[in-house]
Chain A
Amino acid sequence: MAYSEKVIEHYQKPQNVGSFGTSSDVKERSDIGVGIVGAPECGDVMQLQIKVDDAGKIEDAKFKCFGCGSAIASSSLATEWIKGRTVDEALAIKNTEIVEELALPPVKIHCSVLAEDSIRTAINDWKKKNGHEVEDDHHHH
């Protein structure tokens, strides 16, 4: 499979790899939201952790990914995009924007969906921890 330049760049130099601690470390921290999602299509797994300030702005984001090159690139890109945005702005990011930016082929669309889902799951986790209302999880791609 021929990957786009951008996918290869993210693969070779992924941005914001890491975490703010193990799942149990960050469980009680109200400034951290965690999203772990898996793609049933391929068994790939993405973990996104966000650090959110009192005003609801994402100060920092870290990802880990067990997945294909497109999944790695999608999660790396997602962390770049959400840093500095408010949680509501981050929720507005659509997987189609990731597809476009990385020039993903049709079989790789679910990899971008994984990134979108990890953003929503991490934000919802942060919202629940902070007593905010969580939007309906049902959505369409």
Chain B
Amino acid sequence: MTAQDTTIYFDHASTTPCDQRVVDAMLPYFTSIYGNSSSRNHAYGWEAEEGVDKARSQVAELLGAQPKEIIFTSGATESNNIAIKGAARMYAKAPAGSDNRGHIITAVHEHKAVIDPCRRLEREGFDVTFLEPGADGIITAQMVKDALRDDTILVSIMWANNELGTINEVPCIGKICKEHGAVFHTDATQWVGKLPTDVEADNIDLLSLSAHKMYGPKGIGALYVRRRRPRVRLEAIQDGGGHERGFRSGTLNVSSIVGLGAACAIAKEEMEADGERLKKLRDKLESELMSRLEVVEVNGHRDQRLPHMTNISFGFVEGESLMMGIKNIACSSGSACTSASLEPSYVLKALGVGDELAHSSLRLSLGRHTTEAEVDEAIEGITAAVEHLRAMSPLFDLWKEGVDISKIEWQSH
């Protein structure tokens, strides 16, 4: 028996299952079409290259890009690193080893795969502004505009947030960057394959994506690098055989690239219908929980967000015990308790969500194979767990008695 037989999977923002059609497309590339796509002098290489070329076109088509603008990587983490470090070092205002090498804008609630490269660049002499979102979690074009400086060389703002699903004002941010002459990168890992992308209309210079968030395999992704109006240049961070226009040396992962391509082609066809169906289920999940339970909060903007996920907090219950009560639902918790530290999520903190509510938040993300029966079961399970915990929560009692909990001085030891 595997988890699949016992546990509902509501963690699609973390990763998705591989679509069977994707697997079918990949299989021949392991055992029959196994050439190295850069072998130019025999048929094995040509065949593999054909597979890569097709995939490159499929990715490009989903993004409204040209195939030559797609660089294959091991995933969004690598794409973000190549884009952010590569652009900063290429457009630096002063050589390595000096200060004041240029200004970068990003946000406090980006994924660690953006935050940490930016932190490294800070140590390398760049100046980084970490924008703070409003209580709705959104980074607006105005926030970026207000932060721009004469020496701003790079802006990196994610399209949709991985914990909240909230959608930043990417097309407008891109436009402002274009007018200012700063390179605009967006980590679109959660967005691509869910909602439509057009790198031209959306004014994007660099875009990161990962296949495993869109029913493709893990360990493969892509970086879109604009080639025209303007041509974006990057300093490569990995040296070697000069693959992928020199941006990413290393023999191509042909089978996974084919899988990513297939996943993009399927997403292009199906994302609209998937999104509509999942939005109905997500809305049902939310509205049922909110009508059955008191003190339930949805975190982040209610409308400007991805259709298939919700981040929802339950007052007066503790996060880890809540997770314990819903063992049959695989989802993420807003509290990092389970991963050794007891810190609440930095993303929820950035929104000004109090520690208690941050600790008791769940990120529930539905997917292509989610059924209404699973949603119904989750509604029952979560409601029962919250009620079980509230029945023993001293904080819930105090709240019902009308005591302002924040004003209590606890006797600590």
Q: Which listed residue, A19, A36, A47, A67, touches B321 by the CB 8 Å rule?
A: A67
C-alpha spacing A14/B325, complex, angstroms: 13
Determine if B195 is an interface residue (Cβ-Cβ < 8 Å): no
**What does the 1/0 interface line of A8-44 toward B look like (CB < 8 Å)?**
1001001001010010000000000001111111111
Q: Are B321 and A72 within 8 A (Cβ)?
A: yes
Is B356 on the interface with A (CB-CB < 8 A)? Answer: yes
Docked complex Cα distance between A35 and B410 (Å): 10
B407 interfacial by beta-carbon distance below 8 Å: no
A121 touches B411 (CB 8 A): yes
| Complex Cα spacing A113 to B412, Å | 11
- Among B320, B338, B355, max chain A CB count under 10 A is at B320
B342 touches A17 (CB 8 A): no
Cβ contact within 8 Å between B320 and A17: no
**Cβ-based interface call for A134 (8 A):** no
- Is B395 part of the contact surface with A, judged by Cβ < 8 Å? yes
A1, B394: Cβ atoms closer than 8 Å: no
- Contact, CB under 8 Å: A40 / B412: yes
Chain B 380-413, CB-CB to A under 8 Å as 1, else 0, gives: 0000000000011111110001000000001111
**In the docked arrangement, what's the CA distance between A14 and B324, Å?**
14
Least CB distance, A27 to chain B, in whole angstroms: 13
Contact residues of B between 324 and 342, Cβ < 8 Å to A: 324-325, 337-338, 340, 342
**B residues in contact with A66, CB < 8 Å:** 316-318, 393-396
Kindly identify which residue among A37, A65, A67, A68 contacts B411, using a CB–CB cutoff of 8 Å: A37
The SS class assigned to the A binding surface is mixed
Q: Bits for A36-75, please: 1 = Cβ < 8 Å to B, else 0.
A: 1111111111110000000000000001111111011000
Q: Is B103 an interface residue (CB 8 A)?
A: no
Known: A3-B324, A40-B412, A72-B321. Is A65-B337 also a contact (CB below 8 A)? no
B101 at the interface (CB under 8 A from A): no
> Does B359 make an interface contact (CB < 8 A)?
yes
Q: How many residues of B contact A (CB 8 A)?
A: 26
Q: Are A37 and B391 in contact (CB under 8 A)?
A: no
**Contact partner, A36, options B324, B394, B396, Cβ 8 Å:** B394
CB closest residue in chain A, given B391:
A17
Separation of A121 and B411 alpha carbons in the complex (Å): 9
Query: Of A1, A8, A37, A65, which is within 8 A of B392 by CB?
Result: A65
Complexed CA–CA distance, A40 and B355 (Å): 12
**A68 & B413 in contact (Cβ 8 Å cutoff):** no
Q: Which one, B321, B338, B356, contacts A43 given CB within 8 A?
A: B356
Residues 106-136 (chain A) with a chain B CB within 8 angstroms:
107, 113, 117, 121
Q: Which residues of B sit under 8 angstroms from A8, Cβ to Cβ? A: 324
Most buried by B among A3, A38, A121: A38
Question: For B393, what are the chain A residues with a Cβ–Cβ distance below 8 Å?
Answer: 64-66
Q: How far is the CA of A125 from the CA of B412 in the complex (A)?
A: 15
**Which chain B residue shows the least CB distance to A72?**
B321
A69–B337 Cα gap in the complex (Å)? Answer: 12
Docked pose: A121 CA to B355 CA in angstroms: 26
Q: Are B359 and A11 in contact, CB atoms less than 8 angstroms apart?
A: no
Contact between B412 and A14, CB atoms less than 8 A apart: no
Residue from A14, A37, A42, A47 having most chain B Cβ neighbours under 10 A: A42
A64 touches B342 (CB 8 A): no
Please determine whether B397 and A36 come into contact, CB atoms closer than 8 angstroms.
Answer: no
Q: When the two chains form their complex, are residues B342 and A47 in contact, meaning their CB atoms are under 8 A apart? A: no
- Chain A: which residue is nearest B325 at the CB level? A11
Q: A17-B391, A44-B318, A68-B318 are in contact. Are A22 and B397 (CB under 8 A)?
A: yes
- Closest approach, in angstroms, between the C-beta of B208 and any C-beta of chain A? 32
- Closest Cβ neighbor of A64 among chain B residues: B394
A122 CB to closest chain B CB (Å) equals 11
CA distance A98 to B321 in the complex (A): 18
Contact at A41–B411, with CB atoms within 8 Å?
Answer: no
Could you tell me the distance between the alpha carbons of A66 and B392 in the complex, rounded to whole angstroms?
Answer: 7
Residues of B within 8 A of A46 (CB): 394
Interface centre among B316, B337, B340, B392 (most CB of A within 10 A): B392
List B contacts of A19 (CB < 8 A).
Answer: 397
Q: Give the CA-CA distance A66 to B410 in the complex, in Å.
A: 13
Complex formed: what's the CA distance from A85 to B338 in Å?
A: 35
Q: Which residues of A57-103 are within 8 A (CB) of B?
A: 63-69, 71-72
Q: Contacts A36-B411, A37-B412 known; A45 to B321 CB distance under 8 Å?
A: no
Query: What are 14 contact pairs spanning A and B, CB under 8 A?
Result: A1-B338, A3-B324, A17-B392, A22-B401, A38-B412, A42-B337, A43-B355, A45-B394, A45-B410, A64-B393, A64-B394, A65-B394, A66-B317, A68-B324
Sample of 16 more A-B contacts, CB < 8 Å, known A65-B392, A113-B413: A1-B320, A11-B321, A36-B410, A36-B411, A47-B394, A64-B393, A64-B394, A65-B394, A66-B316, A66-B317, A66-B393, A67-B318, A68-B318, A69-B320, A69-B324, A107-B340
